[in-house]
Amino acid sequence: MKQIKLLLSVLILLVALQTAGFAQENKEPSLADNYVLEVMYSKGSPLAYQRIGGWTWYDGFRRAPGFERSAGGRPVEAVKIYTREESGTVKIKVTILSGADIEFENLVSEYTVGTEKITLSELAKFGVVPFEVGLVRSPATTAYIPKVNNDTKSLVVSIEPVVANLPAYKIRVLNSSAKPVAGFSYNTFLEGRRRYSGMPQQFDGTPLINPGGFYEKVFPYALQSTTQSTGEVPPPIPGLQLNVLTVIFTDGTYEGERLDAARFRGYKMGEKIQLTRILEILRSKSAASWDTLAPSVDALTYKVTVSDIEPLFKEFPGLPEGETENLRSAAEVSANKIEKDFVGTFGTGKKIDPTVFSPAVNAAIAKCQNWLDSLP
């Protein structure tokens, strides 16, 4: 479970981060240009910051002592906060995430936020010690440029400064090889410990970087930790190190760290497992109509067992103890992601007009088969 949440966290940090642009001459004043949301999610823990117009989820919260869930209720695994600017004010929507793979999301409440701290008191109804949030000043600045250590031969990595109201930097990765890149792994170190890690990749069967092509992404820069609000975002810490560890090609070969390559292949194995399951349903008799297909779609599992990923142990013999679960978790994350999209398209919650049902099924079969064929 922790591994799945960690993997998802990485994916969520990359999606939630956005940069601030330069002010335009006729642009209306925006709170997002000068303020961010400060979040106290666990008293005594470092404060967290998120931009206005994005979302972040938190799993380091405290649970209310003595709280009893209702019969059949699921424990809260994370709290998610969405932010938006509306008519000169900042609104936030708070939800809770639950389920073994945090697949269920339920609304808690919505709030209007200003520079005075407010308490998200409704969280107590779900067994969570309420967060405190408020806006703090965060004018656009430029972060430090990280030092790059690159353990691959085929990737050429450069860093560009970014002007943003949450310190950030852009990486630009060139694929100098003749083979398409499926993904790569990286982590960042600062003050003797790892800060972030990730594996950028595509979840549609296409390469991340074609030969001679580029991958660009904006990453957050680490801030000084503080448990007390000053009304401003803390400054960035100098000395960040970006380590590019592994590049994995679409043919399954790789350069760099072996364990990261194995974990990446775990993601792709999960795609292969779930796509095979979906194609079996789409080609079955139940796919004759939406009425018969939808129940089969809802019943389809995304769970991955150790035996499902047995081929990976032959591909990467002698893995350290504990890596079996890491590979299984990575595969299940991918399978779960594909499953959600499939259920959202063909499940009982999405009625399909009979006149477009058959073309939709045929299109889904073609897409899944092409995706499956692209996997090593």
d(CA 376, CA 372): 9
Full-model pTM? 0.81
Residue 22 has pLDDT above 60, yes or no: no
d(CA 171, CA 220): 11
Higher pLDDT, 115 or 322: 115
How confident is the model over 241-273, as pLDDT tens digits? Answer: 999 999 999 999 999 999 999 999 999 999 999
Mean pLDDT within 180-187: 97
> What is the CB-side half-sphere exposure of residue 118 using CA atoms within 13 A?
16
The whole-number pLDDT of residue 27 equals 55
Task: Look at residues 346, 131, 372, 129 and name the one whose alpha carbon lies nearest to residue 271.
Answer: 372
Altogether, the residues listed in the chain come to a count of 376
CB 316 within 8 A of CB 262: yes
Mean pLDDT within 260-289: 97
d(CA 282, CA 344): 15
The whole-number pLDDT of residue 143 equals 85
d(CA 54, CA 51): 6
Residue for token pair 């405190």: 132
Helices (H) and strands (E) in the chain, counts: 6, 18
The whole-number pLDDT of residue 231 equals 95
Mean pLDDT computed over every residue of the chain: 90
- Where would I find the H helices in 141-255? none
The whole-number pLDDT of residue 103 equals 78
Q: For residue 332, what pLDDT band results from cuts at 50, 70 and 90?
A: very high
The whole-number pLDDT of residue 140 equals 85
> What is the CB-side half-sphere exposure of residue 8 using CA atoms within 13 A?
24
The whole-number pLDDT of residue 10 equals 44
- Give just the sign of the alpha carbon dihedral 143, 145, 150, 156: positive
The whole-number pLDDT of residue 13 equals 42
The whole-number pLDDT of residue 348 equals 92
Bridge partners (DSSP) listed for residue 81: 56, 94
Higher pLDDT, 1 or 194: 194
Give all domains of the chain, ordered by start, each with its CATH number: 2-137 (no CATH), 141-256 (2.60.40), 258-374 (no CATH)
Residue 227 has pLDDT above 80, yes or no: yes
d(CA 255, CA 228): 44
Residue 274 has pLDDT above 60, yes or no: yes
Amino acid at position 236, single letter: P
